[in-house]
Amino acid sequence: MNNTILQLTRIVQQVALAESPAAQVSLIVDSISDVIQADVCSLYRLNDQHDMVLLASHGLKHNNVVTIPNGKGLVGLVAKSRHPVNVEDAAAHENYFYLPQTQEEKFVSFCGVPLVLFGKVIGVLVVQSRKAERLSKESEGFLVALASQLALIVSDIPVENKIEDQNDRHRGVKGAPGIGLGRIRLCLSGELNSVPNADCDNVDATLSQWQQLLENVKQDIQTEQAALGDDMPDSVSAIFDAYRMLLADQALIERVQAEIRQGHWLPYALKLSIQHYAEIFHAMEDAYFRARAEDILHLGNKLYNAWRGDKGLDVNHIDGPVILMGVQVSVSDMASVPSNKLAGIVCFEGSSLSHTAVLANAMGIPAVMGTGTLKGLNDGDHIIVDGNEGQIILHPSDVVAGEFKKLVQKEKSLKKQLSLLKDLPAQTTDNHVLELFTNTGLLADITPGLKSGAEGVGLYRTEIPFMVRDSFPSEDEQVQVYERVLQAYANKPVYMRTLDIGGDKQLPYFPIHQEDNPALGWRGIRFTLDNIQLLMTQVRAMIRAASGQDNLHILLPMVISTPELMTFLELLDDAIGQLSQEGYAVSRPKVGVMVEVPAAISQIPMWAKYIDFISIGSNDLSQYLLALDRNNARVADRYDHVHPAVLHEVKRVVDMARQYNLPLSLCGEMAADPIAVVLLMAMGIKRLSMSAAKLPKVKYLIRAMSHADSHYILQQALTLESSEAIRNLVNDHLEAIGFNEYMRNQQTAAEA
Ligand code: PEP
Ligand code: MG
């Protein structure tokens, strides 16, 4: 038995470590047939059409794609029954379905077990043998155990489907959304890494060359930043600032000098120093810091290329849209391509935290990161970058490219149609008006909100400006950031939330030591009250930034008790007193709490006398009501903000807010889910806050609905016993009023 467990563990580990999906599937089938001594082992995977596609087989012929239609054959029976099927003579079974191209008639017995992930069958593992003999109970048990371990890995393996050219498809991670089609321009970064050692002939001359190089690159960075235009958000300026900071870093400068004095020529001295710092960052536990190692490598290559006299990327020889591709694609590479020509970015390394991804998001350029090294590519090769799915397709066929072009058109056309609603009110057909606000956090998000017609900022997540910096921003720095938001939304309300770090939001420079239950730990107002100096600085900065604007509302996260609220209100009085004494013209902002922890709900009547408004944070409220970690993929399927328990509690909050005359908004993801919007509107919520990109669709829905109908639907929904039943009920109505059809029609119009 121990031996079996060892074999099982070995197979799972080897499969998990295999370098490509193709290697993974062949390892699975080869190892199983080896361990069980079966003539055939095959792995089938369910595709979008619910057919079973043969991904790999040891023993069956499968030169072309082999597909078993939905529910057919013994494989279909395994999937349907969710149970092993173990028979000595497959052909004698009533469900037998013959696949001529595989020449499987040579094999007599059949044993299939389902691969189940989160309660759903995603594939079937089959072994067959020439002998008319059922598989032993022990081997069947082994297959069942192995299948349950492999399901998660297999779920990540792509299945052949209609529009994809599987051979040339490579998965990475999502860097920035959107789809781009174009020709590759390789960015040959990483050259510094291959610089050989050589002696330095003249130390003094090389030292001054180093000084000059630093100056030249500083100038280049200035020019590149200017080339990206004035519209670039602060998140992008921050990237250039980071480069400048590194260039001015005495430790780096002196390390290169020391290497030169050791007798190395400049490129090698640079290589050693850059590698040294990159390794330090690479070894850090925190993902954000690890990603900063890339900035150092980018800069190293930039310095090296400048030393060689490289003038940056030339894309003139490439016709049409350009996709930049390389181990890393630096901000400088991006800046050297005219923005109307840059259609996508692919990095072999990196993550969604890379500065390349941050910049791609800000510029609206699709990006895929971390594809792994791809060899044999040339400048000018065709490629599709699918940032929505985190995948790329190399050398796409005309059919594949055509399908993706339709998707691009669809996105464009829907955006255009919805943009026409910008200045129209979010008013139902029976004249019930809602206010639609936007959620933001980065300065980069300000303009999209205004462009999509947001009537205010319902949630400004202040932790984001804190997260993209290398240390706590000073009061003056915070004033600048907040001022720009408050001014951009002059005369419109802005709800700024005090720092809500902890849980899934960490500050790289303030690690909160490992907690067993971070979601229940030191986060939100608990953290800031314990670090009251930070809260004081932040509140002072908010009040100073609002001077003369009068649109600031302060929102407190994760409040669970009156003492927390009282301590904050005392701090607020203190901050106002201090600032007045210092000569600032200040006014008292309105203050409210997030209702995002169940404990807050029953205390609303007690808090009503202290606060001016409440805002439901449906993300956390659902997470804490359902005791489901919102970031845990294993339970993600169960998490639903239209769960009956959540709906009933949200309604309770809305009713209490009405009773105690407290203005109310809702700012979690629920606000942008069409199904939830129908129900929230019926409850009487008048203000919803969501990301700018989702706002036009919600407005379209509200304008297509009648408030009276939503009321009727809510009454029924509140009697239903599952999220699924609630979703079906509301969805039927969305079909009936043509909302779903409108969204589909945009696609048809684009395809025509
Ligand atoms: C929420 O919990 O719903 C919310 C808006 O806050 P965050 O997602 O930032 O935790
Ligand atoms: Mg929250």
Q: Quick one: average pLDDT of 74-89? A: 93
Catalytically annotated residue among 111, 187, 200, 667: 667
Whether 668 is in the pocket of ligand 1, judged by its Cβ within 6 Å, is yes
**What was the pLDDT predicted at 134?**
93
Q: Which residues contact 446 (CB under 8 A, 6 or more apart)?
A: 233, 440, 484, 485, 488, 489
Predicted confidence at residue 163, as pLDDT, reads 34
Average of per-residue pLDDT across 225-237: 67
Q: Is the pLDDT of residue 492 over 90?
A: yes
Closest C-alpha among 315, 310, 278, 301 to residue 184: 315
- Is residue 461 lining ligand 1, measured as CB closer than 6 Å? yes
Mind listing the pLDDT tens digit for each residue in 342-360?
999 999 887 766 777 777 8
| 506 close to ligand 1 (CB < 6 Angstrom) | no
* More reliable by pLDDT, 732 or 235: 732
Which pLDDT score, from 0 to 100, does residue 745 have?
Answer: 64
What are the start-end ranges of the E strands in 536-657? 552-556, 590-595, 613-616
Residue 230 is predicted with a pLDDT of 64
Residues 6+ apart with CB under 8 A from 411: 178, 179
Ligand 1, atom 6: closest residue by C-alpha? 617
Residue of 501, 624, 631, 667 to mutate, ligand 1, most atoms within 8 A of C-beta: 667
Please compute the mean of the pLDDT values over residues 205-231 and round it to a whole number: 85
* End-to-end C-alpha distance for the chain, whole angstroms: 61
Longest alpha-carbon distance in the chain: 94
How does pLDDT run across 87-114, given as a tens digit for each residue? 999 999 999 888 777 777 888 999 999 9
Any bridge partners for residue 113, and if so which? Answer: 125
Report pLDDT for 420: 85
pLDDT for res 20: 72
Find the 528 Cα to ligand 2 centroid distance in Å. Answer: 15
Of residues 568 and 199, the one with the higher pLDDT is 568
191 three-class SS: helix
Looking at 170, 355, 432, 733, which residue is catalytic? 355
Q: Measured in angstroms, how far is the CA atom of residue 262 from the centroid of ligand 2?
A: 54
Q: Whose CA is nearest to atom 9 of ligand 1?
A: 461
What is the pLDDT, as a whole number, of residue 504?
64
Nearest to 357 by CA among 373, 371, 341, 375: 371
Q: What is the location of CATH 3.20.20.60 in the chain?
A: 418-622+648-751
Q: Kindly state if the Cβ of 459 falls inside 6 Å of ligand 1.
A: yes
- Calculate mean pLDDT across residues 584-589: 95
Q: Which atom of ligand 1 is nearest to the CA of 620?
A: 2
Q: Is 59 in the pocket of ligand 1 (CB under 6 A)?
A: no
Whose Cα sits closest to atom 10 in ligand 1? 620
Mean pLDDT of 53-69: 82
Q: What is the pLDDT of residue 352?
A: 67
pLDDT of residue 234: 60
Mean pLDDT to the nearest integer, 558-571: 98
In angstroms, what is the span from residue 739 Cα to ligand 2's centroid?
Answer: 30
Centre of ligand 1 from the C-alpha of residue 242, in Å: 29
- d(C-alpha 610, C-alpha 97), whole Å: 71
Q: Evaluate if residue 290 carries a pLDDT over 70.
A: no
Q: How many CB atoms lie within 10 A of CB 538?
A: 23
Where is pLDDT greater, at 673 or 2?
673
User: Is pLDDT of 312 > 70?
Assistant: no
Chain-wide mean pLDDT for the chain? 86
pLDDT over 50 (residue 752): no
- 348 or 234: whose pLDDT is higher? 348
Q: Is 619 in the pocket of ligand 1 (CB under 6 A)?
A: yes
Query: Confidence class of residue 699 from pLDDT cuts 50, 70 and 90?
Result: very high
What's the pLDDT score for residue 749?
46
pLDDT above 90 (res 187): no
- Ligand 1, residues 619, 622, 630, 664: which to mutate, most atoms within 8 A of Cβ? 619
How far does Cα 635 stand from its chain's mean position? 17
Based on the residue annotation, tell me whether 355 is a catalytic residue of this protein: yes
CA distance 18 to 648: 47
pLDDT of residue 311: 66
CATH code at 418-622+648-751: 3.20.20.60
User: Which atom of ligand 1 is found nearest the CA of 619?
Assistant: 3
Measure 669 CA to ligand 1 centroid, in angstroms. 8
pLDDT band, very low/low/confident/very high, at 707 (cuts 50, 70, 90): very high
% residues pLDDT > 70 (the chain)? 91
Which parts of 638-731 are beta strand (E)?
A: 664-666, 687-690
In this structure, which residue's CA is closest to atom 4 in ligand 1?
Answer: 617
For ligand 1, the distance from its centroid to the CA atom of residue 321, given in whole angstroms, is 38
Give the atom of ligand 1 at the shortest distance from the alpha carbon of 615. Answer: 5
Ligand 1 pocket residue status of 497, Cβ below 6 Å:
no
Ligand nearest to the CA of 463: 1
Q: What does the alpha-carbon distance between residue 398 and residue 411 come to, in Å, rounded to a whole number?
A: 20
Question: Which residues have C-beta within 8 Å of that of residue 80, sequence separation ≥ 6?
Answer: 71
Q: Which two tokens stand for residue 698?
A: 């919600």
- How much is the average pLDDT of 560-575? 98
Is residue 458 within 8 A of residue 438, CB to CB? The reply is yes
Model pLDDT, residue 78: 94
pLDDT of the residue at 1: 42
* Domain span(s) for CATH 3.50.30.10 in the chain: 170-403
Rounded to the nearest 10 degrees, how much is the dihedral formed by the CA atoms of 703, 709, 711, 712? -160
* pLDDT value at 244 more than 90: no
Which H or E element spans position 79?
A: helix 73-81
Tell if the pTM clears 0.85, that is, is over it. no
pLDDT band for 165, please (50, 70, 90 cuts). Answer: very low
Check residues 642 and 746 and name the one with the higher pLDDT: 642
Question: 110, 140, 114: which is closest to 128 by C-alpha?
Answer: 110
Distance 619 CA to ligand 1 centre (A): 5
> Strand (E) positions, 578-658?
590-595, 613-616
pLDDT interval class at 618 (50, 70, 90): very high
pLDDT at 516: 85
Summarised one tens digit per residue, pLDDT across range 11-43 is: 887 787 776 777 788 888 888 988 888 999 999
Four-residue CA torsion sign, 343, 346, 347, 353:
positive
* Mean pLDDT within 114-127: 90
Q: Say yes or no to pLDDT of 468 above 70.
A: no
Cα separations in angstroms, 216 against 207, 243, 465, 482, 750:
14, 13, 30, 34, 48
Pick from 164, 171, 168, 177: which is nearest to 367 by CA? 177
Q: What are the structure tokens assigned to 163, written together? A: 């529009």
Tokens of 464: 């984001």
Q: Give, in words, the CATH class of 4-167.
A: alpha beta
Range with top average pLDDT, 131-140, 415-424, 661-670: 661-670
Determine if ligand 1 sits within 6 Å of the CB of residue 620.
yes
Contact call for residues 684 and 714 (beta carbons, < 8 A): no
- How would you classify the pairing of strands 391-394 and 382-386? antiparallel
The larger pLDDT score, comparing residue 260 to residue 354, is at 260
Burial class of residue 622, CB neighbours in 10 A (0-12, 13-18, 19+): buried
Residue 105 Cα, ligand 2 centroid: separation in angstroms? 59
Where do you find CATH 3.30.450.40 in the chain? 4-167
| All residues at 6 or more sequence positions from 732 whose CB lies less than 8 Å from its CB, including other chains | none
3-state secondary structure of 368: strand
Q: How confident is the model at residue 464 (pLDDT cuts 50, 70, 90)?
A: confident
Active site residue 667: yes
- The verdict on the CB of residue 617 being under 6 Å from ligand 1 is yes
684, 686, 654, 690: which is closest to 672 by C-alpha? 690
Tokens of residue 443, six digits:
């300065």
176 or 266, higher pLDDT:
266
Confidence band for 747, pLDDT divided at 50, 70 and 90: very low
- Determine the atom of ligand 1 nearest the C-alpha atom of 503: 10
Task: Report the SS3 class of residue 124.
Answer: strand
Mean pLDDT of 124-153: 89
> 237, 238, 351: which is closest to 286 by C-alpha?
351
Predicted confidence at residue 374, as pLDDT, reads 84
* Residue 484 pLDDT > 60: yes
Closest alpha carbon to 640 in 733, 557, 722: 722
What is the spatial distance between Cα 485 and Cα 450, in angstroms, rounded to a whole number?
11
| 463 Cα nearest atom in ligand 1 | 9
Q: How far is the CA of 596 from the centre of ligand 2 (A)?
A: 6
- pLDDT at residue number 748: 46
CB atoms within 10 A of CB 602: 10
CB 67 within 8 A of CB 102: no
Calculate how far, in angstroms, residue 189's C-alpha sits from the geometric centre of ligand 2.
40
Question: Does residue 667 line the site of ligand 1, with CB under 6 A?
Answer: yes
Measured from the alpha carbon of residue 464, the closest ligand is 1
**459 Cα nearest atom in ligand 1:** 5
Residue among 525, 596, 694 to mutate when testing ligand 1 (max atoms within 8 A of CB): 596
Atom of ligand 1 nearest to the CA of 667: 5
Q: CATH number of the domain at 170-403, out of 3.30.390.30, 3.50.30.10, 3.40.50.1970, 3.30.1490.20? A: 3.50.30.10
Q: Which residue has the higher pLDDT, 145 or 590?
A: 590
Which pLDDT score is estimated for 183? 94
